[in-house]
Each structure stands twice: as C-alpha cells, then as structure tokens.
Amino acid sequence: MPKPRSADNFDHDYIIIGSGFGGSVSGLRLTEKGYRVLMLEKGRELKPDDFPESNWNLKRWLWMPFLGFRGPFQMRFFRHVTVLAGAAVGGGSIVYANTLPIPKDGFFQSPTWSHLADWRMELTPYYQLARGMLGATPNPTFTPVDRIIKDVARDIGKPFEKPHVSVYFGEQGETAPDPYFGGEGPERTGCVLCGGCMLGCKHNAKNSLDKNYLYFARKLGMKLAADTEVTAVRPLPGGGYEVEALHGDRLWFRQRRVYTTRNVIFSAGVLGTVDLLLRLKADPQGLPKLSDRLGSRVRTNSESLIGVLGTKRDVNYARGIAIGSIIQTDEHSHLEPVRYPEGSNFFRTLMAPHVAGENAAVRFARMVGTMLRHPIKTVRTLLSPDINKYGIILLYMRSTEGTLRFRLGKALKLMGTGVEEGEAPQASIPEATDLAGRVSEKVEGMPYSLATETLLNIPTTAHILGGCCMGDSPETGVIDHRHRVFGYDGLYIIDGSSISANPGVNPSLTITALAERAMSMIPARPGVEPKPMITPQPPPKTGGLRRL
C-alpha cells in the first residue's frame, strides 16, 4: 500500500476550481488559516476598462471561446431551460444584478435537506457576515421604473420593497478610500446609476468579489491563475489529487499543466462543476466512485423573463441600478424590474411577443393574433430606438418544486437535460403574464419574451441550482451537509450546484453564507499561525432617498 504523502510533498494544500461566490469565500478563509491555496478560473481577469459599453460588443460581452469571445457573460441553451451565467475572475458577481436577499422559511424547511441541519439557525450569522463582506445596503434610489412597480403593487394589494444591493453609492462619480474594511480594501467610486451593472461595472461602484473576498485572499498569499480550464482530477496513490488544466486564452494553443494538491474544492457553478464531475465520473482514472445522484435535482427559481416595450418617448427607464425594487406577490413568488443600460439592445434580436398558452400552436396563434389586433403598437414597440430606455424587463420568480437532471450525451458527450420530478420548467406562468399586462398598460406598451419562451415554452434562468445536492449518504446525495464529497477524502463542492432546495430568490448570498459555514468547520493548518479573520465594518450611510 502506498505511504501517505506529507503536506510538503504537494504543490498546494487546496486547489479551488472557480472564483465565484463559493470559491472566493473558500479562498480567503483557507488562506487566513495558513493553507497554500491555488485558484484556477477558466475566465479572464477583467478590469473596468475591459467591460463593454453595450451588449452589442459581443466579443467583449459574451463567453464563446470557440469564436474567440471571452467576455464575462455566457448563455447556454438546453432542451428544458436556457441558462445565463458568469464566466470571469469573480464568477457571477461580475454580471449579476447585485441583489442579496435572504430566502423565506420554506427554503430552510424544505424536506430535501431540512433533516440535515437547522439551516435557518445555522446560516443566520453567516448571512449577516456575507452581507457585510459584500457591502450590501438597502437601495436608496427611487426611479421612474420603481414608481411604476409601486403603482402595480398598490393596484394588486401587495407589498412593495427595496432590496439589499451590493453597490457603493457614496457621492456620484467621486472616488473614496475603502469604506468597508477600515481602509484596507480597494477604493470605491460612488454609483453613477448608469444601469450597466450586468455588463460589468465600468465605474468601480459594484462590490463584486474582486473587491472583497478575492482581493484579500490574494493580498494574503492565495495564487490565482485565470484563463485556466481544469480538464481532469485524479486521485494519487497514498492520498491527495493530481489536477490537470489547460492554460491560455487561445483555444487551440493552450498549455497543459499538472498540479498536485491534498484537497480540491469544486466551485465552478452548475455549468462548470456538474459538467466536469460528470466527465470525471465516466473516466476510470478520474472519480468513478462519485454518487449516482450526480446531476440530479437540478432546479431553477421557476422564472419568467418578460420585457415590456413602451411607446412613450419622453421617459428614460434605463437610469438606476440593475434591480431596484420588488413586489412580494405571496410567500412563494415575487416580481423584480431588471435593467440594462441605454444602447444595450442585443436581446432585441432574440425577442417575440409574449403570450400565454398550453402548447406551441396556441401560443403561435395568439402571438399572430396579438400582432394583427395591435399593428401600430406592435410596429412602434418593435422599432423602438432603445428597448432599455423605453422599456422595462420584468423578472418573476417563485419557489415551486420540480427538478431536472443533467447528464452527458452518448455521442458528443455534451451535457443535456431531462425531466426528473414534477413538471418541466415552464416559461408561461399566468401570474407573470398578468403582471406584465399591468405594467404594459402603464407604459402604453406590449410584453415580449425570448423567442425560445414564446414559441417553445422553454424558460430562461440566471439561477440554475443543484446537481451536487446534499444527502446523508451516497444514495441520497453527492455531498454531506459540510460539503464533503462522498467517497473521496479531501474533495468539496461549494457553489450553486450544492444548493439543495429552491430559494425562490437570487442565490448569491445563500451560496456565500453556505461557503462561510463550510469554511468555519475546517481547522487552521497545523503548525501555522492563522492570520486574523477579515471582517467588515458597519456599511457606510447612503443618506436619504435619491429620486430620479
């Protein structure tokens, strides 16, 4: 039997695959505890000047490396869902909508994982820590879009709320010393309310992970290699793992590198982690003992994305932050207005009139009927000079159950979806359609969706979750309640794929809180004096309500 390796015989103590919310937290907390940490990220490291002015600049916005596009935003089309995700150093934090909500009680009490821990009690302190680290504050702005959403909330008798957002408001356009960590972090610039949060903030106001967790992890000694895609993880005789990766930003001219490590943390998000692990499970030299539950219990937040294009030309709906308000329609669902900046009209090329219907034939007939009944309004909205300046994107989410399963295809070995439990996700949700109709009346416009939603009823989600869910054994899950992979000592999964119930809200804060909890259970490296834990100061005051 091979002898166990000593810690000094490995290149690293931990290799972290992915730099999103789970990976960044893990990187900082492990580095604080004295471990030698290497983070591998397939995306680019982007500076403010690297972000596009609009999403028409596809090369700088989209992640399509086979075309040479290495932007921070990726779209993946599956049979049952279209997935939007991040791809850059900082993961989804670079292009997400800044919102950091805590889920309702149903999430913590879901039978899919409630037997493993008292999640509400255990995660509460980590939610608060995570919000502080990410610089969350209640949105202090009130825009024309918020007025419309507040009017709709009043019309239907539902609560109107302002979300906690990860944005530094300060004085607009003015740069100030780090306001979150006693001056030890990077400078921030007051938000200019340009609406460009989801393109990547060009103004240094968004508290993305490169300005907190990643910043301090690297400052304390963590190494990070961008443009590096992990292709294999193999157990070593006597313990530990060999990690193989391709390094470089030119797809056909990348260099192969091999690292050794005692531990590996998978934090590449559902699209990255599940895909990689499915391939490793199929490889006899990889990780064939992974649970057969791998790829199971994949869920979305049951979203419906609807763009309402108005006919008024004396307004500007593009000013503000990505998400500035919420209607809580009931305990399980809510509506948020979402924005892109002026000129970012790429999604116009993928849109079709939004209609409800139980099958494609009905939806197609209703779409044609709508256009024939309202020809002038259809033409005016379709020819809108700017769909963001004169329109409003609506994001409806709910926490209903129903799961998919990811698996590799037999021929091309590409990851695909199948329905596992309940109904397949639906793009046509009656309440979402009703709310879009109410907003349409107020902006004198029409609702539109992606053509895949209108014609095929395939929903779009920015919150794909699961695939590596928790259980009490390999028969019920891929990992245990401490994120340890069943069957492999030293492997962890800490990202959206480990979320084991439907939060019904943006999951970024929950992933961060779960990562903080998981890291709290790992002791300091033996024989090394741990560094003081980085904790935030009270967030800066944002002043009074700012009306636009």
Contact between 374 and 445 (Cβ < 8 Å): no
Q: What is the CA radius of gyration of the chain?
A: 23
Residues 6+ apart with CB under 8 A from 183: 177
Domain 9-525 classification at class level: alpha beta
Strands 491-493 and 255-266: what pairing? parallel
Residues 6+ apart with CB under 8 A from 379: none
Residues 6+ apart with CB under 8 A from 502: 107, 110, 299, 301, 302, 399, 400, 401, 465
Query: What are the structure tokens assigned to 488, written together?
Result: 């492999």
In the numeric block, the tokens 């000047």 are attached to: 49
pTM higher than 0.85, yes or no? yes
Out of 203, 463, 481, 483, the active site residue is 463
Could you give the CA distance from residue 405 to residue 295 in angstroms, rounded to a whole number? 5
Q: Which helix (H) or strand (E) holds 426?
A: none
Contact between 195 and 388 (Cβ < 8 Å): yes
DSSP string covering 458-498: --EES--EEES-B-SSTTT-SB-TT-BBTT-TTEEE-SGGG
Q: Which helix (H) or strand (E) holds 436?
A: helix 430-443
- The single-letter DSSP state of residue 282 is H
* Res 501: pLDDT: 93
- The single-letter DSSP state of residue 190 is B
The angle subtended at Cα 99 by Cα 142 and Cα 207, nearest 5°, is 100
Asked about 463 being catalytic, the answer comes back as: yes
* pLDDT, tens digit (0-9, with 9 covering 90-100), for 49-103: 999 999 999 999 999 999 999 999 999 999 999 999 999 999 999 999 999 999 9
416 in helix, strand or coil? strand
For residue 51, the one-letter residue type is F
- From the list 265, 334, 326, the residue with the least C-alpha distance to 106 is 334
Query: Tens place of pLDDT for every residue, the chain, 548 residues?
Result: 455 655 568 999 999 999 999 999 999 999 999 999 999 999 999 999 999 999 999 999 999 999 999 999 999 999 999 999 999 999 999 999 999 999 999 999 999 999 999 999 999 999 999 999 999 999 999 999 999 999 999 999 999 999 999 999 999 999 999 999 999 999 999 999 999 999 999 999 999 999 999 999 999 999 999 999 999 999 999 999 999 999 999 888 999 999 999 999 999 999 999 999 999 999 999 999 999 999 999 998 778 889 999 999 999 999 999 999 999 998 889 999 999 999 999 999 998 888 887 777 888 888 888 888 888 888 898 889 999 999 999 999 887 667 899 999 887 788 999 988 777 777 788 899 999 999 999 999 999 998 888 888 888 889 999 999 999 999 999 999 999 999 999 999 999 999 999 998 999 999 999 999 999 999 999 999 999 999 998 877 776 677 77
Crossing angle between the packed helical segments 508-520 and 119-133, to the nearest 10 degrees: 110
Could you give the CA distance from residue 347 to residue 329 in angstroms, rounded to a whole number? 27
* pLDDT, tens digit (0-9, with 9 covering 90-100), for 11-48: 999 999 999 999 999 999 999 999 999 999 999 999 99
- From the list 192, 195, 199, the residue with the least C-alpha distance to 169 is 192
Could you give the CA distance from residue 353 to residue 367 in angstroms, rounded to a whole number? 6
The angle subtended at Cα 22 by Cα 86 and Cα 493, nearest 5°, is 110
